Structure formats: structure tokens, C-alpha cells
Amino acid sequence: MKSYKELPDDAGSNIIGQVTAQANRLSQRLSTVKHTVAIMSGKGGVGKSAITANIATALSLMGCTVGIVDADINGPSIAKMMGVRNITLEYTKSGVLPAISHLGIKIISMDLILSEDDAPVMWNAQTQKDAFTWRSTMEVGALREFIGDTEWGDLDFLLLDLPPGSDRLPNVVELIPNLGGVVVVTIPSEISQLIVKKSITMARDILKVPIIGVVENMAFYMCKHCGEPEPLFSVQDTSDYKLNENTLGKIPFDPKLSLCNDSGTPYLSEYLNTPATEAITEIAHKIQNFFNS
């Protein structure tokens, strides 16, 4: 297969010029962003988006300027969790103005574009079978526009909330070759940790992206009777887990976190002195220190 630059004739579509212009626009947008961080998980259901929203909140409370790209095109949730879902995006000649949370966090998400709550993401094609064939390519195109067309301004951190699965990270690395690092979210179950190992191998060994660390979500819960930590899952001793040394932190389960997600209020801005808040805040400090070291 030939690259775009090897095509002798593009039938007048100027595809090379279009691709180059898109790449330049994306590079220009990212020139004002100090650090880009992809937050990923090997599988769904581990609370990755909730962790993304609250890490962004923690960084913002620490005085950092933060943006979030909801890179889950088909299952967006960041706008809901950050309380900006009803904001109408403003389009200007220089780009799209992102939604801004009450803490000043800038957000772009497919959820801000869909007209109805139950509206699925539908790609233009002659048939939906054709759309399925090209879906990955179209998702990458949408993500490129999200990042390249949004007026981010000066940011200390741009967090990318990726869809579940290790296969999505290569698309991000293609768009952002100098991606600052990856945070991987898991839960203390053997199945989740098995898949996380594959995700880290993909990022570190194949794509050569720095691993900032692993976040273990729902690691335990605090007994409301005795106040001691109690296990939620079967895997309790992770001392033999080969990635244990890369753990950024272990976040306890707190049902109030889920309630905050539903209400559109970041947990950290409501509950300042809980074990989960302390864990997430420490993780945010470690992410910041990763880039300052």
C-alpha cells in the first residue's frame, strides 16, 4: 500500500494538501499545550471516565489549566460527568470554543454535538454495512477534528479519555506523535489485570509511549461499621503483580462518586476529605511530578 506522498495523481482532490493542512492545524493547536496524557483501560467497566474527570478536577484544584478530549466517540460520558452536557458549542472562524466547567476545565465531546439523548453516532455511508467497514477510520477523523478544531488556548494538561481497549491507543499516537504519557486504569481482578498487562505492553514496548503509571480503581471499600478497608474483588495481594511498581495509587470504592457522576458534579469538588479524594489527589500530584522530574 502506498502512502499519500507516493500517489502520483489524486484526481484533483488535493488529498495530500488536505491531510497536510489537518496535520498542521492539529500541531498548531497542541503547541500551546504543555502535556498530553492518554487515560486508557484494557476493558470497560473499570471507571476510567470517572477517574479522568476527577484527575482533571484534582489538577485544576492544584492550580493547573486543564482540558479533556472525550475520545470515546460512540459512548461519550465526560460532558455528563463534568456538568456541561447542556452547553451549546460556539463555532467561530478560528475554531470551536470548548464547553467550560465551573472549575474552568475545557471539554470537547461528541455528546455536545448529538441532538437527542438517545441519538447514536451514525456515520455517512451508502449503507450501515459500509459505515461499519470504515468506522475506525471515521472515528480517527472525528478525533482529529476534535483536537485540531478546538480552541484550547494555553493548557498545562490535555487529558484524552480513550474508549476501552488497547487498540485505540495507536490511533492517538498517530495523531499526537509526542504524546506525553499514558495512565492505565484497572480494578483488582485477575481478568482486568491480565488485559492491563497487554495494554501496557502495547504502549510501552510497541508504541514507545511513556507509561506514567497504573491506577487501581475500586481497590477496596471502607467498612461503615469499623472504618477498616474491606476487599471488593478476589485479588487482594498484588505484590506478585509485575506492574505493581508502576501503581500510581489505589482508589477505594465510594458510592457517592457514582452519584456525583450522574449529577454532573465532580466528586473531588464536593467531598474534600475522603479516602477516595485523598487517593485521586495523590495520583494527580504524581502525574504532575512525572513531567516535572
Question: 37 is in which domain, residue-wise?
Answer: 19-292
Least confident of 10-19, 159-168, 171-180, 260-269: 10-19
pLDDT band per the 50, 70, 90 thresholds, residue 134: very low
- Whether residue 275 is contained in a domain is answered as yes
What pLDDT is attached to residue 240? 42
Average pLDDT for the chain? 83
Least confident of 164-173, 210-219, 263-272: 164-173
- Whether residue 263 is contained in a domain is answered as yes
- Whether residue 7 is contained in a domain is answered as no
pLDDT band per the 50, 70, 90 thresholds, residue 131: very low
pLDDT band per the 50, 70, 90 thresholds, residue 116: low
**Total domain count for the chain?**
1
Q: Phi and psi at residue 65, in whole multiples of 5°?
A: -90, 130
What pLDDT is attached to residue 33? 96
Of 122, 157, 146, the residue nearest 22 (C-alpha)? 146
pLDDT band per the 50, 70, 90 thresholds, residue 11: low
Task: Record the cell numbers describing residue 93, joined without a space.
Answer: 472562524
The CATH number for 281's domain is 3.40.50.300
Q: How much is the average pLDDT of 87-116?
A: 90
- Whether residue 236 is contained in a domain is answered as yes
Buried/exposed 230-263: b ≥16 CB within 10 Å, e otherwise: eebbebeebeebebeeebbbbbbbbeebeebbee
Q: 31 vs 238, which has greater pLDDT?
A: 31
Task: Record the cell numbers describing residue 23, joined without a space.
Answer: 496535520
The model's pLDDT over 263-284, given as tens digits with 9 standing for 90+, comes to 999 899 899 889 999 999 999 9
Q: In this prediction, what percent of the chain has a pLDDT beyond 70?
A: 81
- Whether residue 288 is contained in a domain is answered as yes
- Whether residue 2 is contained in a domain is answered as no
Q: 12 vs 222, which has greater pLDDT?
A: 222
- Whether residue 3 is contained in a domain is answered as no
Q: How much is the average pLDDT of 211-234?
A: 82
pLDDT band per the 50, 70, 90 thresholds, residue 138: low
Nearest-angstrom CA–CA distance, 163 and 73: 8
Nearest-angstrom CA–CA distance, 47 and 255: 12
What pLDDT is attached to residue 4? 42
The model's pLDDT over 39-65, given as tens digits with 9 standing for 90+, comes to 998 778 899 999 999 999 999 999 999
Task: Record the cell numbers describing residue 121, joined without a space.
Answer: 453516532
